[in-house]
Chains A and B, each alone.
Chain A
Amino acid sequence: MRTLSLLAVIFAGLAVVPFVLVSDVWMNLAILILYSALLGQAWNMLGGFGGQFSFGHAAFFGTGAYTVAVLQVQFGVNPWIGLVAGGLAAVVVAAIIGYSTFRYGLRGSYFALVTLAFAEVLRILSNSVEITGAGVGILIPLEQTASNLQFADKASYYWILWAMALAAFLVAWWMGNSRFGAQLMAVRDNEDAARALGVRAYGVKMRAIMLSGFFSGLGGVFYAQYFLYLDPHIAYGSSISIESLLVPIIGGIGTLFGPLLGAVVLHGISEVSRDLIGDVPGISLVLYGTLLVIMVLFMPRGLAGLFALGRGKAKKTPEKSSDKTSGATGEAANA
């Protein structure tokens, strides 16, 4: 209950951001942060709570984005309907990926590789078929009305995104406080032991990947409506997959607030570096890579691990030093 109140306070604070930040530049940054937090939380549902590391979340993101765009441009379907359709289409892709991996017991790096392959297949497909505009990409015509899910002001976009992120964070909270979440985490920590206790590991993982896919798909829908342009590289390229996993890894994998924290830090750092270094092409990727290495090496539990937010209620006894603390004791010995 305490975490839920904290979540409510944070999102209440986020809701009023547009009243405080009046400049478009700052609003843009706020949108990017919230958007990353949404993608990160979506990845976190499967990767963090479920321990299934996906390298291909672009498959869900791109499907959501293309669904809303193609339905609008080719079939004249209202984007509000496209919003729902995009999320559901991503769920279908998630179900297909989940079925073809979990059914056959793929775990760890095998699962990661298959997800990566699916995203690549979809990228190449979208690059070659007519309906997605192939390599040229697809342009959503500008028509800024609310009924068209396009807005002249950034604040409206922000609130749409806020609602999506809120839903994602509520689902993540529910995962941390429900039978489904407990079973998912049990499967993550030890699948055989979980199955021996009656946890239907396959079904639990399927539900996790479908939820994860849904929110990634929503992220894709938002992207399409915000930037009004998609091409195969944007929609299904690996940069979305990497951003999706980087955010929760920085913030704290398997924690409720980790993705938000990670998104703030990631965009904070890239803004600061842009000011310092200037807009050198590709510099953000170098930065992301470095950051990832540092996080994995020195803070496997992410920033949330430092604050012990969300999860991390479990106390470690100090006298029993596990391998996690050996680095710290080594440093102490050196000093």
Chain B
Amino acid sequence: MLEVSHISKAFGGVRASRDVSLVVPEGKITSLIGPNGAGKTTLFAQITGFLKPDSGSIRFLGQDITGISPEEIAERGMIRTFQVVQPFAGQSVRENIAVGAHLRIRSRREALAKAEEVAIEVGLGDRLDMDAASLTVAGRKRLEVARALATDPKLILFDEVLAGLNPSEIRDVIPVILKLKERGITILLIEHVMQAVMSLSEYTWVLNQGALIAEGVPKDVVSDPQVIEAYLGKGMAERIAQRAKSNG
């Protein structure tokens, strides 16, 4: 569904993406993990048109979308959310979601009706008339999901949609994301919350210092020595293995 091939991007001396290639399969939940500063959000920004890659190409639904605008990419059915949630402050929850609905719906009344429907689906049904700025963090995350969902997307890129939530809030949001998958929406997550990665995603890529260092089923990936070293530092994989041996 989404093919990223050989993407590279540098900011001065910092190589934020180094020859990254990945293929997101249709109808699945996949994820992108990696330590802070690995270039995950930068990769998202390139995929969704907010940044132009220095080299490489991106194909979505079989068409080349490298370098086209975020608006156009959204119209083609790929929507991103933001790590730092960005509600339209001063507008109500209903109005916020309606902006997403308007991508496919011209009529104001129908868009507002659709917003209401989507809000109920993600669990914001009781807060429709609240100012989006006064939502809690968990509420704002739901709002991000709702706005994306209201555009009738084929693929949603969630940038740390669970970050900053407490465990019980995470437990509440995970079913919402699973429900999206049941509706046939493909999902790519950037996630720090390992509980989410393990329970949600079927396939994961690990990014470190701009390059992919591992990929596979999450439970295999997290035991990959390279991944452990990327997260915990050099030599840690070995020590963990030794301790496991001495304990066993």
Give A contacts to B, CB under 8 Å: 177-179, 182-183, 185-186, 189-190, 192-201, 313-317, 320, 322
Give chain B residues whose Cβ lies under 8 Å from the Cβ of A179. Answer: 102, 105-108, 111
In the complex, chain B residues 31-84 whose Cβ is within 8 Å of any chain A Cβ: 48, 50, 69-71, 74-75, 79-82
A-side contacts of B131, CB under 8 Å: 314-317
A192 touches B99 (CB 8 A): no
Taking CB atoms, residues of chain B closer than 8 Å to A200 are 71
Residues of A within 8 A of B195 (CB): none
Say yes or no: B74 contacts A196, CB within 8 Å.
Answer: yes
Which residues of A lie under 8 Å from residue B111 when comparing CB positions? 179, 182
Segment of B14-22, B90-98, B173-181, B220-228 engaged in the interface with chain A: B90-98
Output the least CB separation between B141 and chain A (Å): 14
Q: Which of B80, B91, B130, B132 contacts A196 (CB 8 A)?
A: B80
B→A interface (CB under 8 Å):
48, 50, 69-71, 74-75, 79-82, 86-92, 95, 98-100, 102-103, 105-108, 111, 129-134, 147-148, 151
Given A185-B91, A198-B151, decide whether A314 and B75 contact each other with a Cβ distance below 8 A. no
Verify B129–A199 contact, CB threshold 8 A: no
CA distance A192 to B71 in the complex (A): 10
Q: Which residue of A lies closest to B103 (CB)?
A: A198
A186 and B100 alpha carbons, distance in the complex (Å): 10
* Cβ-neighbour of A199 out of B71, B95, B106, B134 (below 8 A): B71
Nearest CB in chain A: distance from B71 CB, A: 5
| CB-defined contacts of B79 to chain A, threshold 8 Å | 196-198
Contact among B69, B95, B132, B147 for A197, CB-based, below 8 A: B147
9 more CB-based (< 8 A) A-B contacts, given A177-B108, A183-B102, A189-B88: A185-B91, A192-B50, A193-B88, A193-B147, A196-B50, A197-B103, A197-B151, A198-B71, A316-B130
Complexed CA–CA distance, A198 and B100 (Å):
8
Interface core residue of B74, B98, B132 (most chain A CB under 10 Å): B74
28 residue pairs bridging A and B, Cβ less than 8 Å apart: A178-B108, A179-B105, A186-B88, A186-B99, A189-B88, A189-B89, A190-B86, A190-B87, A193-B87, A194-B99, A195-B50, A195-B69, A195-B74, A196-B74, A196-B82, A197-B74, A197-B99, A198-B71, A198-B75, A198-B79, A199-B71, A201-B71, A314-B90, A314-B91, A314-B131, A316-B130, A322-B133, A322-B134
